[in-house]
Amino acid sequence: MPATAQDATEDTPPVIHLIGVPVQDGTHEKGCLMGPDALRTAGIRETLEGLGFSCIDHGNLQPHSKGEQGAPTIAPVGKANHFDRISSWTRTLADISYQLARTGFPVFMGGDHSLAMGSVAGVARHAAEQGRELFVLWLDAHTDFNTPSTTESGNMHGMSVAAFCGLPELAGLYEPSLEHPINPANVHMMGIRSIDNKERELLRQHHVKINDMRVLDELGVIRPLMELIDEVKSKNAMLHVSLDVDFLDPDIAPAVGTTVPGGATLREAHLIMELLHESRLVTSLDLVELNPFLDHRGKTADILRDLTASLFGRTIFDRPTRRPGPRHGSI
């Protein structure tokens, strides 16, 4: 029997659950459905097992058919491309995310960023059952807080945060209804450098915490990240990390269809992951928007593998941790 999240201790790390989510209905660019297999080819499982973790690869998820997904989707007013299909993915993934979070540390390998609508919803349900809040660290060039009435493109990977925060225009994605929406003030974004005009006002209204690239340029990554870590710790909360390839500068990580120049450096990204590991607060992870069709000899897949390894404790040289030991179900 695998160790459960509740069983995990300082001496028994949680089981890592890898699950592929080959969704690309949320974006206009074809190719990111190959992302999970590119991460496998890059050796993500072997790398994590080499760090001493028990790692189970559950293969690639497939969405429920219309007859299996419960109540019919209710299309919103406005633009929401492939709403029915995204709803099928979201409902399926919310269920499996909840199950995997109960029995270890889930790593969701995408696929476009619409997968976070389901992954975060499921992890939030598990957190609520533990009597804990869930915080989300959103590492992305985009804030993804659009709704069908504010979006310029209609692409639903740009609505993920609005969906799992419970904005009513996107309620039809979930069945049953989203019982544990994330408090928008618990969403901390880093690396932002592209926000739609109408989206900007929504972010202000809902008090989402945004550290755009100017903040990172002026302060570095340590100060805003430590503010998040201290807040999560003070509330005995859980922390979900959602890493979009376009958080990184496209010169470093080219395999993404939504490139925005001026992103984070590789060293900044590794530092974030190393500090998160030392915090022992992270309980789940998204790896999204990897498009192997746009990659250069697997370069970006290798980077995501290595960043994941840093999150799980790989270092160049051992050093004392900055934070207390691990919490149950965290790394």
> What is the DSSP track for 42-83?
TTHHHHHHHTT--EEEEEE--PPPTTTSSSPP-PPSS--TTH
Strand, helix or coil for residue 196: coil
Helix 116-129 vs helix 83-102: angle between axes, to the nearest 10 degrees? 40
* Residue 144 bears catalytic tag: yes
Question: Which one of the listed residues 25, 112, 133, 140 is annotated catalytic?
Answer: 140
* Residue 84 bears catalytic tag: no
Q: How far is residue 151 CA from its own chain's centroid?
A: 21
* Residue 142 bears catalytic tag: yes
Question: Which one of the listed residues 112, 175, 199, 244 is annotated catalytic?
Answer: 244
* Residue 169 bears catalytic tag: no
* Residue 206 bears catalytic tag: no
d(CA 295, CA 252): 11
Question: Which one of the listed residues 113, 188, 270, 277 is annotated catalytic?
Answer: 113
Question: Which one of the listed residues 175, 289, 295, 306 is annotated catalytic?
Answer: 289
Question: Which one of the listed residues 82, 126, 142, 240 is annotated catalytic?
Answer: 142
Residues 6+ apart with CB under 8 A from 270: 306, 307, 310
Task: Tell me the two tokens of residue 31.
Answer: 């190719």
Question: Which one of the listed residues 17, 82, 126, 157 is annotated catalytic?
Answer: 157
Question: Which one of the listed residues 112, 133, 144, 286 is annotated catalytic?
Answer: 144
Task: Tell me the two tokens of residue 204.
Answer: 């202000």
* Residue 140 bears catalytic tag: yes
Cα dihedral across residues 204, 190, 261, 248: positive or negative: negative
Are the C-beta atoms of 216 and 191 separated by less than 8 Å? yes
Task: Tell me the two tokens of residue 119.
Answer: 């992954």
| Angle at CA of residue 210, ends 287 and 130, nearest 5° | 60
Question: Which one of the listed residues 25, 133, 199, 246 is annotated catalytic?
Answer: 246
Catalytic residues, by residue number, are 113, 140, 142, 144, 157, 244, 246, 289
